[in-house]
A and B are shown apart, each in its own frame.
Chain A
Amino acid sequence: MTLFHLVVRELGRQPARTAGCVLAVGMGAAGYLLLVGTAASLADQFADMKRLLGAEVVVQRARATSPFSSNLTPEEVAQLAALPGVQRVSRLAFGKTELVGDRFFLVFGLESDPALGTTLRSLEGRLPLGGGDEAALGILAAGRLGLGIGSTLEVRGRHLRIVGVYRCGHSLLDHGAVLPLDLTQRLFNLGDRVNVVLLRTEAGMHPEKLALEIGRRYSGVEASTTETWISMYGEYALIESYVRLVGLIALLVAMLAVSSVSQVALMARLGELAMLRAVGWSRAQVGRLVFFEALAVAGLGGLAAAPLGEGILLLASPLNRETAGFVADHVNLGLLPETLALTLMAGCLGAMPPLARVLRTAPARVLRMP
């Protein structure tokens, strides 16, 4: 008979209570896993944006609160293109619309750009051509809407023929559609304006210097390096910190579950634990027994986090569509060791208050009672 056997027997003593406690811990750990996983996914998405944009400097209307509310005139775009150190200008228009079964569908209006081909990780069919009622669908949107090449996509009452399905690895784009720039401008009433302009610099031109130069010359526009522009809208570090905090609160709830269940269980076993002290178990040995029980429950809960998380994601998949894919489709298994470690720590902390109470109780008093 070892401590391990004793812990296993103890856990099997009240299987329903143990299972309930493991489930509570598992749900807390799954909450942490999902929240932190989402934050990590968000951070990855923003980090990946620079590659997708394929430009060093982004220009938008000064004081615009979002790229959607920004608009730049053709004259401004022409002035930017004529600046020394600018190698290429790409115009971008965005549209946000509702589709059947999709309340947040993003449309990206792009001009024909050979560089775009390298951005897309895979493309079936081709990208839409300017002047036509054509669209290319992101692979996630295609799957969600059940559409493919040759199908028709209705955007704002206009029937667009799907000529390609692409995958770029960025959920915003993969959950949306790419339309020709001119079509996007018409559909979203932009006239001849665009939302954002992307500048690729010539070799030797420092992007920050170019951005400063644009700001100095044109007060109506705001130029930033791509990294700065992304960080303006993607305060992902802040979001990640916040989400981690919420995740830790979920674990705290799990800790309280362990604590309260341990409290009830240990109070019911005061006589047995007093007996252990009476027959010669030290405080440390009794403490180890209680700790290992809590650790076992916390560990099992931590391990249950992955399947529980998958289950929660499956149940929440209809809601996930509304997030344009920012919530991962699957649990991030890379976060499991961290989650398990934190869950074990929560279990240990949760076991402390009841253990302290047990060790404070004089064995002699308990042993006189039946």
Chain B
Amino acid sequence: MSTLPPSPATQGVALAAYGLAKAYDGGLVVAVRHADIALASGEWVAITGPTGCGKSTLLSLLTLLEPPDAGEIVIDGLQARALRSPEAWRLANVGIVFQFHFLLPHLTVAGNLAVPLMATRMPASQQQERVRELLARLHLEHRASTLAAHLSGGERQLVALGRALVNRPRLIFADEPTGAVDSATGELLLNELFSTSHSPRPTILLVTHDPAVARRAHRVLPMCDGILGTPAGSSTG
């Protein structure tokens, strides 16, 4: 297990959101209700709660994968809605680990790691160097040329983690990263996630329903029925 970094309470705010709300099906399904959250630079935060409580939706809103119905997201002091391209912001600043890996099965491990870099103007040699570094860090050098389709479930999730780290993000969002792997692989994944050491130390927001995983964070925010920061209670499913 990695060591907790010093408390970030005094550091700058990397991302904040105020009054976020999101509903689907014409308002019938309310996923997030007036969520307020602030993530300090370098802070590790876990959001816990039962399945269906709105954790993943909140993550989607904070990563600008979908717009909120209400509320404001502020990134480095700027309103997110003022961003010209959420994709460009994610490419430069964000790494996302999805619950399901979404690797490209016809690409090799190295190819999958390089996918985010393909969207940049980074020279090929530098891309290869980044990929080599990650392969070494994740102990996947021997699998570099293996097609993703031929990997085990744990290896796939490890590659998905590598893909999230390859652009050295300031913000890492992980949605149930250990949800689909065995406990040993889950432990390995979390160790790698929390030992991310590139500079500046990334802010990590982890969504999990596993209290043991949540305990690794500086701060744990419970979520229930779309409401963030209230004690966990009954689930809407």
Q: Tell me whether B100 and A271 are in contact (CB under 8 A).
A: yes
Q: Given A1-B111, A9-B106, is A282 in contact with B98 using a C-beta cutoff of 8 Å?
A: no
Which of B65, B119, B124 is within 8 Å of A362, CB to CB? B65
A281 contacts partner chain B, Cβ-Cβ < 8 Å: yes
Q: Given A9-B107, A12-B106, A272-B102, is A279 in contact with B114 using a C-beta cutoff of 8 Å?
A: no
B85 contacts partner chain A, Cβ-Cβ < 8 Å: yes
Which of A2, A274, A281 is within 8 Å of B102, CB to CB? A274
Contacts of A272 in B (CB 8 A): 102, 104
- Per-residue B-contact encoding for A263-300, CB less than 8 Å = 1, 0 else: 00000000110111111111101000000000000000
Q: Tell me whether A278 and B65 are in contact (CB under 8 A).
A: yes
- Of B32-40, B42-50, B89-97, B186-194, which stretch is located at the interface? B89-97
Contacts of A1 in B (CB 8 A): 107, 110-111, 114-115, 117-118, 127
A368 nearest in chain B by CB position: B56
- Per-residue A-contact encoding for B68-104, CB less than 8 Å = 1, 0 else: 0000000000000000010110111010101110101
Which of B102, B106, B111, B117 is within 8 Å of A367, CB to CB? B102
Which of B92, B99, B111 is within 8 Å of A280, CB to CB? B92
A293 → chain B closest CB, angstroms: 12
A316 contacts partner chain B, Cβ-Cβ < 8 Å: no
Q: Tell me whether A278 and B114 are in contact (CB under 8 A).
A: no
Q: How many residues of A contact B (CB 8 A)?
A: 30
Tell me which residues from 47 to 68 in chain B have a Cβ below 8 Å from any Cβ of chain A: 56-57, 60, 63, 65-66
Q: Given A12-B106, A279-B91, is A364 in contact with B118 using a C-beta cutoff of 8 Å?
A: no
A10 contacts partner chain B, Cβ-Cβ < 8 Å: yes
Q: Tell me whether B96 and A278 are in contact (CB under 8 A).
A: yes
Q: How large is the interface on B (under 10, 10 to 19, 20 to 34, 35 or more residues)?
A: 35 or more
Contacts of A10 in B (CB 8 A): 106
A13 contacts partner chain B, Cβ-Cβ < 8 Å: yes
Contacts of B99 in A (CB 8 A): 368
A369 contacts partner chain B, Cβ-Cβ < 8 Å: yes
B229 contacts partner chain A, Cβ-Cβ < 8 Å: no
Q: Tell me whether A2 and B118 are in contact (CB under 8 A).
A: yes
Q: Given A1-B111, A9-B107, is A282 in contact with B102 using a C-beta cutoff of 8 Å?
A: no
Q: Tell me whether A281 and B65 are in contact (CB under 8 A).
A: no
Complex Cα distance, B88 from A280, in Å, reads 6
Which of A2, A3, A279, A370 is within 8 Å of B90, CB to CB? A279
A8 nearest in chain B by CB position: B106
- Per-residue B-contact encoding for A209-253, CB less than 8 Å = 1, 0 else: 000000000000000000000000000000000000000000000
Q: Tell me whether B100 and A282 are in contact (CB under 8 A).
A: no
B167 contacts partner chain A, Cβ-Cβ < 8 Å: yes
Q: Tell me whether B100 and A369 are in contact (CB under 8 A).
A: yes
B8 contacts partner chain A, Cβ-Cβ < 8 Å: no
Contacts of A369 in B (CB 8 A): 100
A6 contacts partner chain B, Cβ-Cβ < 8 Å: yes
Complex Cα distance, B100 from A10, in Å, reads 21
A169 contacts partner chain B, Cβ-Cβ < 8 Å: no
Q: Tell me whether B119 and A285 are in contact (CB under 8 A).
A: yes
Contacts of A285 in B (CB 8 A): 119
Contacts of B87 in A (CB 8 A): 277, 280-283
A67 contacts partner chain B, Cβ-Cβ < 8 Å: no
A369 nearest in chain B by CB position: B100
Q: Given A2-B118, A9-B107, A369-B100, is A278 in contact with B91 using a C-beta cutoff of 8 Å?
A: no
Q: Tell me whether B66 and A362 are in contact (CB under 8 A).
A: yes
Contacts of B163 in A (CB 8 A): 279
List the interface of chain A (C-beta within 8 A of B): 1-3, 5-6, 9-10, 12-13, 271-272, 274-283, 285, 362-365, 367-370
Please give 4 more A-B residue pairs, beta carbons under 8 A apart, in addition to A271-B100, A277-B87.
Answer: A1-B114, A272-B104, A274-B102, A280-B90
8 shortest A-B CB distances, which residue pairs? A280-B91, A364-B60, A275-B102, A364-B65, A364-B66, A279-B116, A13-B106, A1-B114
28 A-B residue pairs with CB within 8 Å: A1-B111, A1-B114, A1-B117, A1-B127, A2-B118, A2-B124, A5-B111, A6-B107, A9-B107, A9-B111, A10-B106, A274-B102, A276-B115, A276-B119, A279-B96, A279-B119, A279-B163, A280-B87, A280-B90, A280-B116, A280-B120, A282-B87, A362-B65, A364-B60, A364-B65, A364-B66, A367-B60, A368-B56
